[in-house]
Amino acid sequence: MEKNLLNLSKRETQILSYLKNGLSSKEIASNLSLSSHTVDTHRRNMLRKANTRNSVELVLLGLQMGVI
């Protein structure tokens, strides 16, 4: 099955980049002036879109596809 991360929004791509750097949802929220709940929602949406089970798989896929 081909996984396509090209459907990520600009904000989701931005959050994925922060995840790549090892930041937590709380740290990402602080950097982007968002609530941690909003960041968690974006993370869940990205996992669903990419059909990945966790953030590590998501980041690896993003790196492989050149999204981040």
All residues at 6 or more sequence positions from 57 whose CB lies less than 8 Å from its CB, including other chains: 50
Question: What pTM, to 2 d.p., does this model score?
Answer: 0.88
For the chain, list the domains and their CATH numbers.
10-64 (1.10.10.10)
- pLDDT, tens digit (0-9, with 9 covering 90-100), for 32-51: 999 999 999 999 999 999 99
Q: Say if residue 5's pLDDT is above 50.
A: yes
pLDDT in tens, 15-30: 999 999 999 999 999 9
**For residue 6, what pLDDT is reported?**
67
Asked if 23 and 36 touch (Cβ cutoff 8 Å), the reply is: no
